[in-house]
Structures are given as structure tokens and as C-alpha cells.
């Protein structure tokens, strides 16, 4: 019986493989009747930062090098490690595909790939990095077209001029100059074998970032060159042992995460309807962005503090709150391991990061920083006989009345839900819509605890309205797109100013968010960001948010808003180490960004008054022994020596 099953599976596999071959023959016949694609202009694009510096160049004619000017070292190294049968197949290496399918089926995992150089080149002819079946189909048809309309040498030349060699270097000419300050024809065997090993995983095999890994990869390249008869054993060993002299110790921006930013730029580019599709297909465009290299460097420094284990992922966005321009972005830990860009494609529960908008609305409706509620385990009962029993993180409760100021510092869930229900469920919902949250939300008691999903773009934009004094902003990365003749195809125009929040109350919220790391709020528990306090050298407004599956830190100054998420892609529960790592990552990046510049703070509005109070009780200070902090109030709402708060009924 077992033999019959194996025989049946074998016939089934052969049948599938036979259909695959027939389908590909049809594909080649179809390719004959399609127009010839100009491979020297397809995907020709340049991306610039906010100072006009080139950060990416894909298939640019200025850096195109002919195969005649590429010496045998780089040609043979590339063919050996990527596609040894390149000159003997017609775009698809069927025996290699069959072998990879068998290995992957038997192991029930992806152990082997079988993409040919032609297939990889077809993939490089895209301006975007979207992972979809539609794109896979287009890559396949392009593979047919390349093989039908171009010679093998022309395909190899195109591949070498468009492949990613890390650090934003596309094409062998850019890579050769970047790493070794050499023309491609002058590369030694040792240098060529190092470069040929990078494209498989640019972030892992960059000799700048991971020299030891790049040497291991070089050994693989040289070994395959030896096995394929391109070099002898002595040449293989000599090349591996040769000391490599890189261009210099300053590798430009040296940012492996920039590919996530470029990814987001291309996604935005494809969404701009005013640019004719023909320009995106034929390329030769210059894209000017909002990227601040210093912000991106700061994000990468923080990224190093975020790695708890290889499965923990992250997304990070730094935004200018004045206009919504995204000055830094990271969509994952390692692009080589995962091309999924969480900064533009992921939606997660924001947790307690929504509370500043709840308390903004409360302050608008008569609450003050001294308003109190009793914090204890509470079950809420509703007319439909349903109940809701929110829990505080770690099961920690004050079991006494606490002020709104301390509720923010401790991120007290009981206080938040009481406030939410006191105001009415419409209030927070409407406020979130005002500041630009468009994701699906339901008006419910749990809305106050962030139990819906949104993107990091939405969250950063919402916080920008707090940071800029109430103006709604539109997140964007592209400022201008220009064609090869210098014609402006697109230029970002800031939307008409829309004030959605009151500037006096956003000032109060900003000040209250400094309580999250203030020693004067240490009482029955610690403020949520207290572990970050020793690393903080500037004044920041900070709020954390933690669910079972998500860790958030969002904060700002008048200059920037910075949102950072960490968690698992499969929404598994996160350990406390992930939360701690995300906090460390956030403050490391924030401090790095402001290392060479001053972080300003807000001027106190005329309608605001400061008062020294006990921030936990909300009462004015009467004893030198009690906790004390200056809290700010709308004039006329500050507490009296004998505390009175007639606006809110306590329960």
C-alpha cells in the first residue's frame, strides 16, 4: 500500500511538472508577440534625501557598465553562485526547480530556491517591492520576454547593473566604487567574490556590517567557482586569504535599513495618480524625499537595542509634526530576512497610546490634571446585561483616589474606562477621527484601551496634532518627482491648514506626558517610562502602550514625533523583554537624534497657569515631605488649598 501511495505521489508530481513545462512553452510563444522592453531605461530611478543627496539609484544610465568592461572575475563569480546553468537554460532552470521542489516538499519547508539570473533580473525591473501573486505573474512574463528578445550577455549585463549590493548601492559599478573605489574591470578575484556574495542577502553579507558573515559567503562563492572550473585550488585559497582594503572607514550613510524607507517611497510613488503609468514603467525619474539621514541613523542605533530574539519584529517612524513629512522609517529588523514592510503594511492594536486623546477630550469637558477617580478592580455593568472588567497591567491598583496626572503616568486602565464612560463613547471616537485615524473602530468601553487596529502612520500623524498645537497633518515621504528632461511630474502641496485640537489643551497633554518618567510620581507603583529616566537628557512627552501582543512607545517634542512598535508577526503574546527592549530602543534613538542639536519645548500659553501640587492626589503641596510637581491648568481651574473639584462626580 505504501509503495502504491509513493508511486501515485510520484506520478502526480511528474504530471504537475509536465504541466509546468507546457505552460512555460506557451509563455515563450506569447513573448514573441509582445513589444521589446527597453531594459536600460526600465526601473531607472534615483532617490534623494531632504538635502538633495543621492541615497538610491536603480538601473541608472549614468552608472551602467557594459559586460565588456566587467572582468571575468565578477562575471564568473556571479554565475557560479547565482545560476551556474545560466548559459544553458531559457530563463527557468527546470532540473534545478524540480530538485528544489522535491527538497522543499520532503522537508515541509523552504530549504532551497531556484531563481535563475533572468528571473532575478525580471524582479529588479520593478519600482516597488510588493509581495503579491500579481507581481509574481508579471515577473514570470518578463522572464519570458527577456529570454526571447535579448541575448544571454545582454541579460547578464542588465542583471549586474540592477542588483542590490547593499547600502543603497544598485549595480556593480556603484558597488565597486562604494566598497573598493575601483572600476569594475579592475576588481581582483578576492574583491569580486566578496561582491558576488552580497545580493543573496545584502544586510547579512555586507562586508561593512558583517565582515565575518561576508567572508563565509565569499568562501561559498570561491568554492563554487572552483567546482565549476573557473579557478584552481591555489587561486581559490589565495583569494580567500587576501587582505581586503576597503575604500575608507567612513562608508557614507552605511544604513542597511534604508531599503525599508525606499520601499515606502516606491509604494507612495505608485499611489500618485498624477504621474502617468508610462513613467513608472520606463523609469528615468528623480524622486526627492523627506528623508533626514541623521534621523535614519538614530533609528538604526535604537534598532540595535531592540533585538530580543530573531522573531521579534519592529516598525519605527519619525515624523516632522509641523507638516507630516516622514524623516525616518524602519519596517523590520532585517530586510534580508523579511521584506514585509511593517511601517506601511501592518495594522496593530495601539493599546494605551490612545489615552492622551481620551484625556484631551476630558480636559475639554471640565476635567483638570487634579481630577480624581478611585482606582481598584472594577466591573462595569451595562443596560444590555453585559459586563466589562478591565485589568491594570501587572494587576497593580492604587486602591485609592488618584489624579488624572498620575493616571497618565501609571497608565491606569480603570481610570481610563471610567473617564471614557463618564464622557460618553462618542467623545474619544470623534477625537481620533479628527486627528486622522481612519482605520475601523467601534464605539465601545474598550476603545479607551486601544482595542482596535491602526497603522503606525496613523498613530504618528495623530500624535503630530498634539505636538504641533492642534493641526491635522498628512503623512508623506515624497516632495517632488522629476523626469529625465527636468520636468516636474509631481510636487507635494501641503493641504489647507485644518485645526482640529485646541492649542492650550495640547500644551496640558504635552506637560502631563512628561509625568511618565518623573521620580515625583513614584508611589504605590512606578511611572510606565521610569526605567528610561536615567537615559533622558531632554524634555519629552512620552506614552507607552502594551497589549498581550504589542509594545508601543510614542513620544514627541516640537521638532519630531517618534513612534516605535515591537512584537511578533503572528501576533503571539510578547514577553516583558520585548516591552523593555522597545523602550530602550526608543530612548536610544531619541537621544541619538538630539545629540548634535537642542530639543526645544513649548512656551506656556497665556491662558495656562502652573501650580506646585502633589501629582498623585492632585492637591496643592502643604508639606515638604510629599511628592511635588508643577502641573498646569487652564486659568481658573487650578485647585484650591482645600481641594474642590465640582466638575466631576467621583465614584
User: Phi, psi at residue 242, to the nearest 5°?
Assistant: -65, 135
- By mean pLDDT, which of 30-39, 350-359, 405-414, 429-438 is the weakest? 30-39
Q: What is the mean pLDDT of the chain?
A: 85
Task: Work out the pLDDT band at 20, boundaries 50, 70, 90.
Answer: low
Specify the residue for cell string 528578445.
149
Class of domain 328-634: alpha beta
Here the cell at position 55 is: 541615497
Task: Provide the pLDDT confidence category of residue 557 given band limits of 50, 70 and 90.
Answer: very high
Rounded to two decimals, the pTM is 0.76
Q: Output 496 or 334, whichever has higher pLDDT.
A: 496
**Low-confidence winner among 112-116, 161-165, 602-606 (lowest mean pLDDT):** 112-116
HSE of 503, CA atoms in CB hemisphere, 13 A: 12
Gap between the Cα atoms of 175 and 565, Å rounded: 33
pLDDT given for residue 282 in this prediction: 57
CA gap 425, 449 in Å, rounded: 12
Pure H helices in 130-232: 133-149, 152-160, 172-180, 189-197, 202-205, 211-227
pLDDT category at 278 given cuts 50, 70, 90 is low
How many CA atoms lie less than 13 Å away from 268 in the CB half-sphere?
Answer: 27
Count Cβ atoms within 10 A of the Cβ of residue 489 and give its class: 0-12 exposed, 13-18 middle, 19 or more buried. middle
User: What pLDDT sits at residue 192?
Assistant: 95
The pLDDT value given to residue 111? 42
Between 57 and 477, name the one with better pLDDT: 477
Under 8 Å between Cβ of 199 and 80: no
* Closest to 71 (Cα-Cα) out of 195, 168, 227: 195
Other beta carbons within 10 angstroms of residue 644's beta carbon come to: 9
Predicted pLDDT of residue 251: 44
Name beta bridge partners: 348.
Answer: 454
Predicted local distance difference test score (pLDDT) of residue 252: 42
Residues near 26 by Cβ (< 8 Å), separated by ≥ 6?
A: none
For residue 464, what are the contacts with CB-CB under 8 A and spacing of at least 6?
319, 321, 324, 471, 473, 556, 561
371 pLDDT above the threshold of 70: yes
pLDDT over threshold 90, residue 96: no
Residue 432 grid coordinates: 481620533
Query: 485: exposed, middle or buried (C-beta count within 10 Å: 0-12, 13-18, 19+)?
Result: exposed
Give 644 or 51, the one with higher predicted confidence: 51
Task: Choose between 164 and 362: higher pLDDT.
Answer: 362
Identify the band that residue 109 occupies on the pLDDT scale cut at 50, 70 and 90. very low
| Closest C-alpha to 188, from 74, 41, 64 | 74
In sequence order, the β-bridge partners of residue 372 are: 403
Per-residue cell: 65: 557598465
Residue written as grid cell 530611478 = 45
Nearest to 209 by CA among 219, 194, 222, 221: 194
* CA–CA dist 478, 490 (Å, integer): 9
Higher pLDDT, 85 or 235: 235
Residue 123 has a pLDDT of 76
Q: Please, which pLDDT band fits residue 151 given cuts at 50, 70 and 90?
A: confident
Catalytic residue positions, numbered: 82, 352
Q: Would you give the distance in Å from CA 65 to the centre of its chain? A: 33
Dist. CA 224–CA 441, nearest whole Å: 55
Percent residues over pLDDT 90 in the chain:
60
Residue 100: pLDDT over 70: no
The domain 65-254 having CATH identifier 1.10.3810.10: the answer here is yes
* Per-residue DSSP letter, 527: -
Under a CB-based contact definition with an 8 Å cutoff, are residues 187 and 71 in contact? yes
pLDDT at residue 92 tops 70 = no
User: How many other CB atoms are there within 10 angstroms of residue 181's CB atom?
Assistant: 12
* pLDDT confidence band for 137 (50 / 70 / 90): low
330 DSSP β-pair partners: 316
The region of weakest confidence among 94-98, 110-114, 354-358 is 110-114
Gap between the Cα atoms of 222 and 237, Å rounded = 8
Inform me whether the pLDDT recorded for 646 exceeds 60: no
Q: Hey, how many other C-beta atoms are within 10 angstroms of the C-beta on 364?
A: 17
- Residues making up the chain, counted from first to last: 651
Q: Mean pLDDT over residues 341-360, rounded?
A: 96
User: Quick one: pLDDT band at residue 7, thresholds 50, 70, 90?
Assistant: very low
Q: Are 333 and 303 in contact (CB under 8 A)?
A: yes
Q: Does position 650 have pLDDT exceeding 50, yes or no?
A: no
Mean pLDDT, range 218-243, rounded to an integer: 95
C-alpha span between 39 and 376 (Å, rounded): 67
Residue 348: DSSP 8-state: B
219, HSE (Cβ side, Cα atoms, 13 Å): 7
Beta strands in 19-147 (DSSP E): 45-48, 54-58
With a cut of 50, say whether residue 344 has pLDDT above it: yes
Q: Where are the domains of the chain?
A: 65-254, 328-634
Pairing of strands 326-330, 312-319: antiparallel
Contact call for residues 351 and 553 (beta carbons, < 8 A):
no
Q: Is pLDDT at 66 greater than 80 in this prediction?
A: yes
User: Cα angle at 216 between 210 and 221, to 5 degrees?
Assistant: 120
pLDDT band at 46 (very low <50, low <70, confident <90, very high): confident
Amino acid at each position: 500500500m505504501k509503495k502504491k501511495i509513493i508511486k501515485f505521489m510520484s506520478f502526480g508530481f511528474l504530471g504537475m511538472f509536465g504541466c509546468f513545462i507546457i505552460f512555460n512553452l506557451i509563455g515563450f510563444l506569447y513573448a514573441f508577440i509582445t513589444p521589446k522592453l527597453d531594459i536600460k531605461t526600465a526601473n531607472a530611478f534615483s532617490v534623494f534625501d531632504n538635502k538633495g543627496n543621492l541615497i538610491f539609484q536603480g538601473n541608472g544610465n549614468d552608472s551602467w557598465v557594459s559586460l565588456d568592461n566587467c572582468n571575468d572575475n565578477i562575471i564568473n563569480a556571479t554565475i557560479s553562485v547565482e545560476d551556474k546553468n545560466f548559459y544553458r537554460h531559457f530563463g527557468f532552470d527546470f532540473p534545478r526547480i524540480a530538485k528544489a521542489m522535491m527538497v522543499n516538499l520532503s522537508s515541509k519547508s523552504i530549504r532551497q530556491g531556484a531563481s535563475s539570473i533572468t528571473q532575478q533580473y525580471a524582479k529588479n525591473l520593478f519600482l516597488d517591492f510588493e509581495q503579491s501573486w500579481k507581481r509574481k505573474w508579471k515577473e514570470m512574463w518578463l522572464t519570458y520576454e527577456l529570454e526571447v528578445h535579448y541575448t544571454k550577455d545582454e541579460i547578464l549585463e542588465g542583471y549586474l547593473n540592477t542588483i542590490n549590493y547593499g547600502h543603497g548601492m544598485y549595480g556593480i559599478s556603484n558597488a565597486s566604487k562604494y566598497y573598493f573605489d575601483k572600476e569594475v574591470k579592475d576588481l581582483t578575484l578576492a574583491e569580486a567574490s566578496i561582491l558576488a556574495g552580497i545580493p543573496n542577502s545584502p544586510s547579512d553579507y555586507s562586508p561593512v556590517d558583517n565582515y565575518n558573515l561576508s567572508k563565509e559567503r565569499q568562501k561559498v562563492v570561491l568554492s563554487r567557482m572552483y567546482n565549476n572550473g573557473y579557478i584552481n585550488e591555489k587561486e581559490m585559497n589565495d583569494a580567500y586569504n587576501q587582505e581586503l582594503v576597503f575604500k575608507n572607514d567612513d562608508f557614507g550613510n552605511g544604513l542597511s535599513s534604508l531599503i525599508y524607507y525606499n520601499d515606502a517611497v516606491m509604494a507612495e510613488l505608485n499611489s500618485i495618480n498624477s504621474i502617468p503609468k508610462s513613467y513608472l514603467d520606463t523609469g528615468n525619474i528623480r524622486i526627492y524625499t523627506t528623508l533626514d539621514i541623521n534621523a535614519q541613523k538614530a533609528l538604526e542605533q535604537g534598532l540595535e537595542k531592540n533585538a530580543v530574539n530573531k522573531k521579534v519584529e519592529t516598525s519605527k517612524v519619525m515624523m516632522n509634526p509641523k507638516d507630516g513629512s516622514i524623516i525616518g522609517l524602519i519596517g523590520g529588523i532585517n530586510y534580508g530576512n523579511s521584506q514585509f514592510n511593517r511601517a506601511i503594511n501592518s495594522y496593530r492594536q495601539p493599546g494605551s497610546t490612545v489615552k492622551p486623546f481620551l484625556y484631551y477630550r476630558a480636559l475639554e469637558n471640565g476635567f483638570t490634571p487634579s481630577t480624581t477617580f478611585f482606582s481598584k478592580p472594577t466591573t462595569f455593568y451595562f443596560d444590555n446585561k453585559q459586563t466589562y472588567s478591565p485589568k491594570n497591567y501587572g494587576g497593580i491598583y492604587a486602591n485609592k483616589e488618584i489624579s488624572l496626572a498620575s493616571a497618565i503616568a501609571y497608565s491606569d486602565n480603570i481610570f481610563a474606562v471610567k473617564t471614557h464612560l463618564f464622557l460618553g463613547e462618542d467623545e474619544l471616537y470623534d477625537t481620533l477621527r479628527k486627528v486622522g485615524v481612519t482605520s475601523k473602530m467601534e464605539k465601545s468601553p474598550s476603545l479607551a484601551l486601544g482595542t482596535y487596529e491602526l497603522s503606525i502612520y496613523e498613530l504618528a500623524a495623530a500624535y503630530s496634532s498634539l505636538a504641533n498645537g492642534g493641526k491635522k497633518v498628512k503623512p508623506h515621504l515624497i516632495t517632488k518627482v522629476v523626469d529625465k528632461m527636468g520636468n516636474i511630474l509631481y510636487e507635494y502641496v501641503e493641504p489647507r491648514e485644518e485645526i482640529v485640537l485646541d492649542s492650550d489643551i495640547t500644551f496640558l497633554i504635552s506637560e502631563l506626558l512628561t509625568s511618565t518618567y518623573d521620580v515625583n510620581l513614584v508611589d504605590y507603583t512606578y511611572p510606565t517610562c521610569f526605567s528610561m529616566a536615567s537615559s533622558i537628557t531632554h524634555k519629552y512627552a512620552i506614552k507607552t502602550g502594551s497589549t498581550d501582543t504589542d509594545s508601543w512607545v510614542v513620544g514627541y517634542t516640537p521638532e519630531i514625533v517618534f513612534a516605535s512598535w515591537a512584537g511578533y508577526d503572528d501576533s503571539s503574546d510578547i514577553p516583558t523583554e520585548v516591552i523593555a527592549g522597545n523602550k530602550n530602543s526608543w530612548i536610544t534613538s531619541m537621544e541619538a537624534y538630539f545629540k548634535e542639536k537642542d530639543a526645544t519645548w513649548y512656551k506656556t500659553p497665556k491662558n495656562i497657569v502652573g501650580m506646585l501640587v502633589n501629582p498623585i492626589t492632585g492637591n496643592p503641596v502643604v508639606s515638604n515631605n510629599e511628592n511635588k510637581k508643577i502641573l498646569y491648568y487652564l486659568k481658573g481651574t487650578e485647585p484650591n488649598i482645600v481641594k474642590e473639584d465640582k466638575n466631576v462626580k467621583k465614584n
